[in-house]
Structure 1
Amino acid sequence: MRYWLFKSEPDKWSWEMQKAKGEVGEQWDGVRNYQARNNMREMKLGDRGFFYHSNIGKEVVGIVEVCALAHPDSTTDDPRWECVDIRAVRDMPKPVTLADVKNEPRLADMALVTSMRLSVQPVTEEEWKIVCEMGGLKDA
């Protein structure tokens, strides 16, 4: 299993909206960055990700799971753009803020710190465990 981080502006697509989609999940559409698209192409079913509120809050608020592999993004006719579908798995008991991440020396190389603008980012297994611990999850 691999780990990822999905950024969303909560006034456009919030964690509560994601959770409301239930087991079916929702396509992670609208991504128009080649690196982010390529990250989604690498995803496998069951990969886990952090759901991150960007701009407002700037914090990891939940855990998601990839429930459909990369497919054409339905929000465009341009065949270059693809997306995956994700579903909510669980809330982060204590949201982990960007400031928290930046203040944790073990996360200095995390893409959230080094590639802040990238909307879909890889997360290492070690980073995953540290962020989950910071958020109060022991078994995520």
Structure 2
Amino acid sequence: MPRQRKRACQDTPEPETEAPAGKLVKANKAEIPAEPLGEAKTSDSPEKNRATKESGNETSRYWLMKSEPESRLEKGIDVKFGIEDLKAQPRQTACWDGVRNYQARNFLRTMKLGEKAFFYHSNCKEPGIAGLVKIVKEAYPDHTQFEKDSPHYDPSSKKDNPKWSMENLILS
């Protein structure tokens, strides 16, 4: 029987309030770019075409966080993680670890505290957006790159100069 993948996060911040369960939303099976999804419009005026945070001068971005909700074994460990797995986590908070694509890693490092992302189910029977999440801790070194029994172990990564990052998110 395959082992369930651990989703232990280091230094997970306490959310300010209990997060309500997100609604499931279906999307078409269209290709979605692996980049920020853009900025929400708040006005028809071209000068005010970006959503702003409370400070009034920062732009809100919406990201796409791809997950695989169906079982897939790597080194004998089931690495599936879908919206239902996130809902089952304490405080509905999880770390986004195991990213081993340089472009995706760079996007993780660009994400800011409080920004939102669409939780996208990929490589499954019904791909699509399954919920909305919020970044609750910005990028920090992914500890799984140093764990030899982890499916995400990277022997070329060094503790004094880690290659891979992760962050924490919460169900919105």
**TM-score normalized by structure 2?**
0.49
Summarize deviations over 1:96-138 as a string: whole Å, max 9, x none. xxxxxxxxxxxxxxxxxxxxxxxxxxxxxxxxxxxxxxxxxxx
- Aligned residue number for residue 127 of structure 2: 58
Unpaired runs of 5+ residues, structure 2, are 1-59, 71-79, 147-156
Check whether the contact 1:22–1:87 (CA below 8 A) recurs between aligned residues.
no
Check whether the contact 1:22–1:88 (CA below 8 A) recurs between aligned residues.
no
Check whether the contact 1:19–1:87 (CA below 8 A) recurs between aligned residues.
no
Deviation at 1:24, TM superposition (A): 6.0
Q: Secondary structure at the match of 1:35?
A: helix
- Aligned residue number for residue 165 of structure 2: 82
Tell me which amino acid in the other structure corresponds to 1:20: A
Summarize deviations over 1:36-84 as a string: whole Å, max 9, x none. 0000101111100000110112110100000111001121122100011
Is residue 9 from structure 1 mapped to residue 68 from structure 2 by the alignment? yes
CA RMSD of aligned residues (A): 1.2
| Counterpart mapping for 1:1-140 below 5 A | 1-11=60-70, 12-23=80-91, 25-56=93-124, 57-77=126-146, 78=157, 79-89=162-172
CA distance in 2 between counterparts of 1:73 and 1:24 reads: 20
Deviation at 1:23, TM superposition (A): 3.5
Check whether the contact 2:92–2:171 (CA below 8 A) recurs between aligned residues.
no
Q: Secondary structure at the match of 2:144?
A: coil
The structure having more radius of gyration, on CA atoms, is: 2
Unpaired runs of 5+ residues, structure 1, are 90-140
CA distance in 2 between counterparts of 1:35 and 1:19 reads: 27
Deviation at 1:20, TM superposition (A): 1.9
Q: Secondary structure at the match of 1:80?
A: coil
Summarize deviations over 1:82-103 as a string: whole Å, max 9, x none. 01111111xxxxxxxxxxxxxx
CA distance in 1 between counterparts of 2:92 and 2:64 reads: 19
Check whether the contact 1:50–1:61 (CA below 8 A) recurs between aligned residues.
yes
Q: Secondary structure at the match of 1:60?
A: strand
Larger strand proportion, structure 1 or 2?
A: 1
**TM-score normalized by structure 1?**
0.60
